[in-house]
């Protein structure tokens, strides 16, 4: 049977190029996700978000 999507018939959709593109975008995306998580963790710790720092100061 022929595929319903005409894009699947193209050789540009199959092969190494889409996998390479996916790998590049996954690498760039993971970098930005890691930067976002790091910024949130640092904000919680240093800037006293959710008053975690204030509780530690009172315990000391």
Q: What is the pLDDT of residue 24?
A: 95
Q: What is the pLDDT of residue 25?
A: 96
41/55: higher pLDDT: 41
Q: Which residue has the tokens 């975690």?
A: 52
DSSP letters, 5-59, are SGGGGSTTTSSSHHHHHHHHHHHHHHHHHHHHHHHHHHHHHHS-GGGHHHHHHHH
pLDDT (tens digit per residue) in 4-54: 666 655 555 567 788 899 999 999 999 999 999 999 998 888 877 776 555
45/59: higher pLDDT: 45
Each domain of the chain, given as residue ranges in start order, spans: 34-60
C-alpha 49/C-alpha 40 separation (Å) is: 9
Query: pTM above the 0.75 mark?
Result: no
Q: What is the pLDDT of residue 18?
A: 82
């Amino acid at each position: 049977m022929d595929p319903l999507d005409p894009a699947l018939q193209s050789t540009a959709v199959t092969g190494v190029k889409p996998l390479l593109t996916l790998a590049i975008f996954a690498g760039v995306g993971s970098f930005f996700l890691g930067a976002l998580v790091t910024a949130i963790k640092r904000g919680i710790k240093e800037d006293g978000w959710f008053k975690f720092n204030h509780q530690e100061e009172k315990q000391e």
